[in-house]
Amino acid sequence: MNTLEKMETFIVLAECRSFTEAARRLYCSQPTISHHINHLEQDFDSRLFHRTGRKVELTKQGEVLLTYAKQILSLVDEASVTIKKVDYFEQTLSVYVSNYIADYFFVELLHQYKEISRKKCIEINSFCYDDLKRSLQDKLTNFAIMPIYPEDYYLMDHYDTSVLFEDELSLIFPNDYLWETRKTLYCRDIHNQTVLLPKSHYLQQYIKSHLRSRQVKVRYLQMSNFELIKKAVKAGHGIAFLPSFAVAEELSKGELVSRPVSGLSIKRKNGLVTRKNTQLTDYEQDFCNKLKQHFLQFV
């Protein structure tokens, strides 16, 4: 007889204190309830219930067993959930990637990885830079696809990095701006302009340090993300330095304009960040290898 089944019968009877009600709740006969309880009393060599007419009350021994029985069934439920999680993770490749790379590169990438998805489901987790760092620190993932900032000394010291591609942060402005007819701009042209920055702390500092090194003084305004910045630039709220891939569509449609700035080149590296001394699974390694092959076209 299933011990867990007897434990469940015992708990239900202890709660409702009636063989009739216990049988109703468990969709079985009263003799079955009695049979389970008798077996438990034999197993523990103790009387578990006082029987007075149709009502039953736990004995002292029964109260002790009730505490353990609840713990046992709770542990069984917990084990079931954990086992399902293990099965889920064995069947799922969880990829952590920056919002930027997910938005502008992963549609094409996912089409290329159909052969992987037949063997293993791919779960895409898109986050900002700081959340990706926390995911690595908390060991939620073995690797992340994200920007690489040499100024982030903690990341450089504690993780292995592999550059996938480098993109330039292009200066963009509205299509009716006074610079539209210019072929080249100079740092002095940017003086006293309003520059819109994304929320990312490291990207903000990266852009500011490049402008500072050229003695360019501007006013900064923070926006949440690249998409909001593009809308704000179109509406004439300022200019911005955004990754060229993020503005390619708007530039091709003439919705935004970009011009090179003589003597100023802001480039950012993006790549794989892996926790040191960590062995990737076969699926993770296969995904990373295909990722590197894909980004060779941008090198």
| Each residue's pLDDT tens digit, 105-128 | 887 777 666 655 555 678 889 999
pLDDT score, position 49: 93
Superfamily of domain 90-159+270-298: Periplasmic binding protein-like II (3.40.190.10)
Class of the 166-268 domain? Answer: alpha beta
* pLDDT over threshold 70, residue 198: yes
Instruction: State the pLDDT at residue 109.
Output: 73
Choose between 273 and 78: higher pLDDT: 273
- Residue ranges per structural domain of the chain: 3-87, 90-159+270-298, 166-268
Cα–Cα distance, 230 to 85 (Å, whole number)? 40
Averaged pLDDT of the chain: 89
Res 2: pLDDT: 83
Domain 3-87 and domain 90-159+270-298 have a common topology: no
Pair of tokens at residue 90:
């064995």
Looking at residue 65, its pLDDT comes to 93
Structure pTM? 0.66
- pLDDT confidence of residue 122: 80
- Mean pLDDT for 154-169 is 92
**pLDDT tens digits along 247-269:** 999 999 999 999 999 999 999 99
The percentage of the chain sitting over the pLDDT mark of 70, rounded to a whole number, equals: 92
- pLDDT-derived band at 295 (thresholds 50, 70, 90) equals confident
Is CATH 1.10.10.10 what the domain over 3-87 is classified as, yes or no?
Answer: yes
